[in-house]
Amino acid sequence: MTNYSLYSFEDEFRNGYLTLKGGHRVGIVGRTVLGSEGIKTLKNISALNVRIAREIKGCSDAIVKNYIQMV
């Protein structure tokens, strides 16, 4: 996601997300490390949340159908 350069995305990383080409975003869940001027970084990343910047109708139909069958 960062093309092997976390440094170039450092400011966005501190905000808890990365903006990718095409306007897509990846939210980052982890432990916040605070410094004297606020959030320094995130560590112990535990989850990612991908937001696709355009609507794709029906893209989750199979997932929802499988979930309903499990419940």
Q: Say if residue 31's pLDDT is above 80.
A: yes
pLDDT computed for residue 8 by the predictor: 66
Q: What's the CA gap between 37 and 23, in Å, rounded?
A: 28
Both ends of the chain: CA-CA distance in Å? 34
pLDDT computed for residue 46 by the predictor: 92
Please give the full DSSP string across 12-63, using - where no structure is assigned.
HHHHTEEE-GGG-EEEEEEEEEEETTEEEEEEEEEEEEEE-SS--TTTTHHH
0.75 exceeded by pTM: no
Q: What's the CA gap between 56 and 53, in Å, rounded?
A: 9
